[in-house]
Amino acid sequence: MHLEDTRRIPPPDPDREPLKVNVYERMSKAAAQLTPLFPYDSAGAIIPAGAVLVGGPDMEYGHFFHWNTVNEVAVTYGASKAMLAAGQIFVTQQLHGVNSFLRDQKDPDAFAVMVITQHQSASGDQKEALIARCAKCKAELVRTEYDATPHGLPGYDAKRYGADEDPVRQFATLAGSADFITARNSDEGRACAGCGHVNDRFPAERWGWERTVLQTRTVNAAYHSLAQAASPAEAAS
Ligand SMILES: [Zn+2]
């Protein structure tokens, strides 16, 4: 019996060259919560995405719910005075609440560094939603549902958050989350239809999603501008 034959790991997918990232190094400079650590987001990919949450007198993270048709696994790479212990691993429910995960977000000694790994759909469409509830009566305030079907599946829409020829894809979860912020911070999004309470603005800056979407859009525009600048030179040579 040749045990080694049955235990051999298949060679890597040529479209997904193995990469190594240090989560502490990468997340020290990241602009957003849920920043993908690797550039792979197509069908069947796992997307480990980092988050750095820290308390302080002016810190405010708000609260929302995330619904996802695919699985997410959260690993805590370090924490203090948080709801999660350092080294803790858990699988999220399909619908799960999200906040700072700190016991007291105003405590400057409270922090958590996490990696949330989302397993992209390998077949069939992928759907996600962000949901806000009224702080006073808990009625649903805003529900932003978005298609997150990954690249490589028939349901993938390249024009959903960009253009076919963009070299860097928007991460659907962050682009959908940025759309949620727009809806949630509108006058209609803040006023509860149930009880009339005007909810506080969602603290978008703590999450950084709009900035990430804008930066991704900008690097794509930069790529196209360079290609355009190069084309007369290419034609002349
Ligand atoms: Zn209400």
pLDDT digits (tens, 9 = 90+) for 185-232: 999 999 999 999 999 999 999 999 999 999 999 999 999 999 999 987
Listed residue (35, 87, 88) closest to 213, CA to CA: 35
| Domain contains 166 | yes
Domain tally for the chain?
A: 1
pLDDT above 90: residue 13: no
Locate tokens 């009625």: which residue? 139
pLDDT above 90: residue 177: yes
65 alpha carbon – ligand 1 mean position (Å): 16
Please give all residues whose CB falls under 5 A of ion ligand 1, grouped by chain where several chains appear.
Answer: 134, 136-137, 139, 192, 194-195, 197
21 alpha carbon – ligand 1 mean position (Å): 43
Confidence (pTM): 0.90
198 alpha carbon – ligand 1 mean position (Å): 8
pLDDT band at 6 (very low <50, low <70, confident <90, very high): confident
Average pLDDT along the chain: 94
pLDDT above 70: residue 157: yes
pLDDT band at 44 (very low <50, low <70, confident <90, very high): very high
| Domain contains 190 | yes
Radius of gyration from C-alpha coordinates of the chain: 20
| Domain contains 3 | no
| Domain contains 148 | yes
End-to-end CA distance of the chain: 62
**64: helix, coil or strand?**
strand
Sign of the Cα torsion 132, 27, 74, 70 reads positive
Judge whether 116 and 173 are in contact, CB under 8 Å: no
Rounded CA-CA distance 200/86 in Å is: 31
| Domain contains 2 | no
Q: How many CB atoms lie within 10 A of CB 9?
A: 5
| Domain contains 210 | yes
Locate tokens 């020290």: which residue? 28
Name the residue type at position 110: A
Backbone angles phi, psi at 43, to 5 degrees: -50, 130
Q: Rounded mean pLDDT of 159-182? A: 94
Supply the range of the domain harboring residue 39.
12-230
| Domain contains 5 | no
